[in-house]
Structure 1
Amino acid sequence: MHLHSNGFCGYDISVEPTGEVDCYTYWSRFSVKQTYDKLQMKRTFTPHVSNHASEVTDRNARAAIHGPQSVRHGWEWYEMGFFIYWTPSGSMTLLCFDLPAKSQLAIETMLCPQETSHSCPYASFLLVSDALLRLYDDSVWAIRNHISEWEATRSQEADYFLLHEVARNGVHVNETLNVAVRSLDATQQHHERCRTGTASICSSNACERWDKVGSRFQFQLRFLQDLLQRSNANNARIQNEITLAFNIAAQRDSKVQLQVGEEAKREASAMKAIAVVTMTFLPATFVSVSLLAQKYQPPSCINVFDDLLHRRYLEPTFSRMVPTETLV
């Protein structure tokens, strides 16, 4: 269940029977959606299996919803877990799970040159959150790059599938940022409780007048909130592009329909002219043919067979050729 969560954080304090603090533990999970240059549709998915499903009957119960196979479609999920174990003596263990290679290198680089205070369980997590901010910043700006590229190369024929992919990934980026803001805010509150509410955890040196760890958390939280605002702006921009593409297509269809109507008018005028010409000249032709049929006299030299053919077939045919005006 926790492996499918989009983010959380929590802490626990172990207290000795004497009332002294034995250890302090903190755990959290952060998710980041990173997009790349070419976005493509993914036509397969991993279904979510209920937590009540039997592990024996369903082998996919522990399958990861987001795997590395999505990279070929132009996007990737970073689902990272962190665990801190701290004791009042100053010993601390920091575990990081499923970090991308660039974040691992960044955390190692920050840990080596500087001395991390062990008097507070959250001092080392500041370095982790700095690396997380870089991931979220890259995630938001990657969506912005897709939107700006679309705006710069906008055409009459819109690629609605690409617009949908950009909007879909933008929604995921917004989701992860919202969860990260709440998680970092909760982490800051945990630090305040650790610092002020439980004096036995923090040593006298840690509980100074100026809380460096807390002020750093506040800065990181404000930075993450600003990224969330930019992500909201990205989503608004892509929705504007979708609306514009739809309106352009509707306007183009309206122009085509107008042209079809104009062509229909011209065809109707031509048919009207043909009808007028037909009604003007065709009746006289019928009358002429009818009169010629009535005045026709076969020559005396014609044989008997031709005379019978004329009387039996031609005269009845000419007599039935009546102009249409006489029938009205």
Structure 2
Amino acid sequence: MQEQKSRACDDLLILQRNKGDAGDWRQTQRANFHLEAPNDLSDTIPAWSKICIIVAHSTEIGRCSQCRQAFADAFCMPHFWWSYHFLRANGTFGCERTRNSGVETGFNTWSRFSVKKVEHDTRYKWYHPGVFTRLLPSTNQTVILAFDLDPPIKERFLRAVMKSDESWLNDPFWVYPHLLEQIALIEEPAVWAIRDHVRSIETEGKPEGRPQPDYRRLHDIARHAIHVNETLDVAVQNTEHILMQHESYTNSRPDNASPASEDIHLRLRSWQSFIGNLRCQSISNEKRLQNEVQLAFNTVAQHDASVTLEIGRATQMDSAAMKTIAFVTLTFLPPTFICAIFSTSFFDFGGDSGWSMSNKFWVYWVVAIPTTVFTVLVWTYWPNIRGILLSENE
């Protein structure tokens, strides 16, 4: 267990940038800080550093109680950040001011996003990037805790942050235009991948014979489309909250208002519009896909209905033939019955004596009537009799 704790904190990637020099970055690695002195994280930001970026994995740190406490103590992180429900959420945004004896000690912001990257062959990968930022007003330094940045988000996000304009760094929201850009760059190909899948279904030719839609494929594409819509919804909501809180922050500090803050706000608005447009296209993809699913069901139902109609016509012809046979049989039944009776030995016909009937003719009716009644009763109650016999055998 000790080895797991150490590895969770050994994996931290720490990048620091000199004040006033956009090109001077230092990469350091701090190991086992939580084992000796949990509060030692505050020393991660020396006086010469303007920006400190710490890249970590929230899952690994979340398993280590000392690591969680170390981050909470050093950066005033809320404890719910490490909760199961927060880490499993599709997205969130929040911010707060930290104070000590009524004196503001920092301004914290945090956010998480969920992004589903869908490939053209229906393979997919989930991303759950999250950031926690802390601006120290006393020294005008910024700490960025970047969690769960998988490639290619990690490389592009770090590259964009490390090349940020110096004038932006006094605004605690300067990280979010870069983060939203990465979210959009992952969401856009996912939306177009869904669109390409839908388009390939729309352009498929009508097969001969009974249609055989690939319902499994339709289900998978629909599932991806729903997930992409969901993540875009959350991204739009997060962006709206970021804009609202950024506007509230700038209005609360009119003396610190600067063109850089206005530029950041405009950039956030731009990505809000871009992600909103992706959301509209994603909704269109889902509706088009649902239209294709309904068409597939209706096409199969129409084909089956036509087959059923043909079967009905054939059954109708068979019924007409059976009616003819029944009519002919019924026509010859009385003469057949009469012939059967008169052909018995109860009747005799002689040339001299004429017709004569045996005085034992009543025997025929004594045997025929009970036999007929028994046959009708057995035919009527045979289903019940068969059920009783089967239940006894079981």
Normalised to the residue count of structure 2, the TM-score between the two structures is 0.58
Choose between structure 1 and 2: higher strand proportion: 2
C-alpha change, 1:249 and 1:31, in structure 2 (3 Å) is same
Q: 1:272 offset after TM fit, Å?
A: 4.3
* Map of 1:82 onto structure 2: 131
Structure 2: which 5+ residue stretches go unaligned? 1-84, 350-394
Out of 282, 288, 292, the position equivalent to 1:237 is 288
Match in the other structure for 2:240: 185
Q: Is the 8 A contact 1:140 1:173 kept in 2?
A: yes
Indicate the structure whose relative CO is greater, using CA pairs within 8 Å and at least 6 residues apart: 1
Matches within 5 A, 1:55-204: 74-88=123-137, 89-113=139-163, 115-116=165-166, 117-153=168-204, 155=206, 156-199=211-254, 202=256
C-alpha distance 13-154 of structure 1, shift in aligned 2 (>3 A): farther
Question: 1:209 Cα deviation (Å)?
Answer: 8.8
The match for 2:110 is 27
SS state at 1:96 partner: strand
Per-residue CA distance 1:184-241 (angstroms, 9 max, x = gap): 11111222122221346x3xxx523981011111111111111111121112112211
* Greater mean deviation of Cα atoms: 229-238 or 156-165: 156-165
Would you say 1:267 and 2:310 are equivalent positions?
no
The answer to whether the 8 Å contact 2:250/2:261 transfers is no
The one-character-per-residue Cα deviations of 1:114-149 (angstroms, maximum 9, x if unpaired) are 534312122233212111111121222222222112
- Kept in 2, the 8 Å contact 1:90–1:119? The answer is yes
Identical-pair percentage? 30
Q: Distance in 1 between matches of 2:102 and 2:330?
A: 117
1:8 and 2:86 correspond:
no
Structure 1 residue aligned with 2:272: 221
Aligned partner of residue 259 in structure 2, secondary structure: coil
Query: In 1, Cα distance between the equivalents of 2:310 and 2:291?
Result: 29
Runs of 4+ aligned structure 1 residues displaced above 3 Å come to: 15-19, 111-116, 269-291, 293-296
Contact map agreement 1:28 1:81 (CA 8 A) in 2 = yes
CA–CA distance in 2 between the matches of 1:208 and 1:282? 108
Change over 3 Å in CA distance of 1:113–1:27 after alignment to 2: closer
Counterpart code for 2:150: P
Write the distance in 2 (CA, Å) between the matches of 1:78 and 1:113: 24
RMSD, aligned α-carbons: 3.4
Q: Is 1:212–2:267 an aligned residue pair?
A: no
- How far did 1:17 drift? 4.6
In structure 2, the CA distance between the partners of 1:237 and 1:165, relative to structure 1 (3 Å rule), is same
Aligned in 2, Cα 1:154/1:35: closer, same or farther, shift over 3 Å? farther
Distance 1:120 1:192 in 2: 11
Q: Alpha-carbon deviation of 1:38?
A: 4.2
1:286 CA displacement: 9.5
Q: Could you tell me how far 1:167 is from its partner in structure 2?
A: 1.9
Instruction: Give 2:295's aligned amino acid.
Output: L
1:32 and 1:139 in contact (8 A); partners too: no
Deviation at 1:34, TM superposition (A): 2.2
In structure 2, distance between residues paired with 1:124 and 1:139: 24
